[in-house]
Amino acid sequence: MDETLLDIGEVAERTGLAPSALRFYERKGLISSTARNGLRRAYRPEVLERLGLIMCARGAGFTVAEISSFLSAGPGDREVREKMAVKAGELNQRVAQLTRLRDALDHAATCDHEPLTDCPDFKRAVWNARPESTASSP
Amino acid sequence: MDETLLDIGEVAERTGLAPSALRFYERKGLISSTARNGLRRAYRPEVLERLGLIMCARGAGFTVAEISSFLSAGPGDREVREKMAVKAGELNQRVAQLTRLRDALDHAATCDHEPLTDCPDFKRAVWNARPESTASSP
DNA sequence: CTGCGACTTGAACCGCGGTTCAAGTCAAGG
DNA sequence: CCTTGACTTGAACCGCGGTTCAAGTCGCAG
């Protein structure tokens, strides 16, 4: 047996993911165990890298299905690359919105307004944080 | 009856939210119908503003429970204000991470690497997008 | 009075992203 | 040999954020 292959417990420990999550990802096609040591999954070390990518994408709000489609991007796969570009654009929108919302929240945290929701500055800040206001500001 | 009060259908239409969602929010304490016209909910116009805030926060990834606690912020409610400040900080982290991820995705969309996951530039970009790397950049 | 249609309710259901559980299988060690 | 303990499976369950549905209740028009 190849000593470099990793047990599921090993992978779980190194990534911080639960074994159940790893099996779940495997069911969903995000990762694959390349061999079996008896019944047990044996993962190649590269899976750690892949899982890093997956965790990152999940953390950024991508669904498992999206990640799956991105990960299976073929050679000249125009389709997926385009989707990626679209996603990148969406991320930009999102970043802008979150930034504005943070500003609103910053104000909220420090402003002493009786019912916070009545503070005009807060209102303005929230208004600015609407998704649409990302694009339109004439 | 006060003509300025809004029917649930009215509110749904103006906000773009489903009536079921409005009732759901009401159950969760995010909004309240201030009167009943017979059985029917009657909303004050201010609810529109409040819903704008709610939609915005939901869009930014806040849970309904979080929003609820923020909305019920009392006068000198240190607790909640502090939580807001914390949330604002988290948003900053998130913005940084999303920005980095967008960079990774931008590269992925244009780079012609056989298995995308092997592209060293992509790997680096993803590596940089790890949540922890937000703080550490030596 | 008799619809009609827009509302009301609670309860059931959905997709997502996993977790938990019971029951079974394996390899190694005493 | 038999135990131990980490794995295996499928199926059931969970919280979240709602949606859908059946059954009931209104106000208003004809």
pLDDT digits (tens, 9 = 90+) for B6-52: 999 999 999 999 999 999 999 999 999 887 777 789 999 999 999 99
**Residue type present at position A133:** S
In a domain, B31, yes or no: yes
Query: CB of A17 within 8 A of CB of B95?
Result: no
Evaluate whether residue B2 is within a structural domain. no
Q: Which residues of B fall within a CB distance of 8 Å from A128?
A: none
Residue B121 lies in a domain: yes
Q: Which amino acid is at A60?
A: A
Query: What pLDDT was estimated at residue A137?
Result: 38
Query: Cα B41 to the chain's mean position, in Å?
Result: 26
Whether A53 and B117 lie within 8 Å, measured CB to CB: yes
Domain extent for A59: 8-71
Domain stops at, among B71, B97, B114 = B71
Q: Which string of DSSP letters, residue by residue, matches chain B? A: --TT-B-HHHHHHHHT--HHHHHHHHHTTS----EEETTEEEB-THHHHHHHHHHHHHHTT--HHHHHHHHT--TT-HHHHHHHHHHHHHHHHHHHHHHHHHHHHHHHHH---SSGGG-HHHHHHHHHTSGGGGT---
Q: Are residues A106 and A56 in the same domain?
A: no
Does the pLDDT of residue A34 top 80, yes or no?
Answer: yes
- Rg over alpha carbons for chain A, rounded to the nearest Å, is 22
State whether B14 and B66 are in the same domain. Answer: yes
pLDDT tier for residue B133 given thresholds of 50, 70 and 90: low
When scoring B84, B86, B133 by the number of chain A Cβ atoms within 10 A, the one with the most, hence best to mutate, is: B84
Q: Within this chain, do residues B58 and B95 fall inside the same structural domain, yes or no? A: no
Both A94 and A122 in one domain: the answer is: yes
Structure confidence at residue A136 (pLDDT):
41
Q: Are B54 and B30 in contact (CB under 8 A)?
A: yes
Give residue A1's pLDDT band: very low, low, confident or very high (50, 70, 90). Answer: very low
B 36-55 residues, CB < 7 A, strand C: 39-41
**Residue in chain A nearest B122 by alpha carbon:** A53
Q: Which of A91, A99, A113 has the most B C-beta neighbours within 10 Å, making it the best mutation to test the interface with B?
A: A91
**Chain C: nucleotides under 7 Å from a protein CB?**
6-9, 16-21, 24-27
Question: Are residues B38 and B91 both part of a single domain?
Answer: no
Q: Please choose, from the candidates A77, A64, A59, A66, the residue with its C-alpha nearest in 3D space to the C-alpha of residue A22.
A: A64
Let me know: does A5 contact A37? Beta carbons within 8 Å: yes
